[in-house]
């Protein structure tokens, strides 16, 4: 039961992050970045970087990490891409001291996150992350 409760809490945390990002996305496309407790679309995260394969034990696939918070707990979206940099999988990770939980976004949530991924590509964020990968 404890694992199920934790998963529900992580799902709630992911939905809140997606909601905040979506609000900033709308503001950005309306021509303004509305400062509030979340920040702006450009500055609401701590980092966007590429985590090369083998950086962590048993990590076979590289991914792009959109880290939103850090410390205890931290949370991030991970974008897994094909050779042409099209995204084939998105994961949300909630990481707390020596523990972590993964939630996969629903199809609707994934659709928005893929749109955000494409914005990262268009703005050169992905290219910059590839130049200096985390290893």
pLDDT band at 54 (very low <50, low <70, confident <90, very high): confident
Residues of the chain above pLDDT 90, percent: 50
On the question of pLDDT at 43 being above 50, the answer is yes
Alpha-carbon span 93 to 100, nearest angstrom: 7
Q: pLDDT digits over 59-85, tens only?
A: 889 999 999 888 778 899 999 999 999
The residues with which 89 forms a beta bridge, in sequence order, are 80
Among 20, 25, 14, 13, smallest CA distance to 105 is for 14
- Residues whose CB is less than 8 angstroms from the CB of residue 98 and which lie 6 or more positions away in sequence, other chains included: none
pLDDT band at 16 (very low <50, low <70, confident <90, very high): very high
Q: pLDDT digits over 77-107, tens only?
A: 999 999 999 999 999 999 877 778 899 999 9
Cα–Cα distances (Å) from 73 to 32, 62, 68, 105, in that order, read 30, 23, 11, 19
pLDDT band at 109 (very low <50, low <70, confident <90, very high): very high
On the question of pLDDT at 38 being above 70, the answer is no
């Amino acid at each position: 039961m404890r694992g199920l409760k934790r998963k529900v809490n992580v799902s709630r945390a992911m939905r809140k992050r997606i909601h905040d990002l979506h609000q900033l996305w709308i503001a950005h496309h309306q021509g303004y970045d509305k400062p509030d407790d979340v920040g702006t679309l450009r500055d609401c995260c701590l980092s966007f970087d590429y985590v090369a394969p083998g950086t962590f034990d048993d990590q076979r696939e590289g991914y792009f990490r959109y880290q939103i918070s850090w410390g205890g707990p931290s949370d991030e979206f991970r974008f897994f891409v094909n050779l042409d940099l099209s995204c084939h999988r998105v994961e949300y990770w909630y990481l707390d001291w020596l523990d972590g939980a993964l939630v996969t976004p629903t199809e609707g949530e994934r659709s928005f996150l893929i749109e955000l991924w494409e914005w990262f590509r268009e703005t050169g964020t992905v290219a910059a992350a590839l130049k200096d990968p985390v290893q």
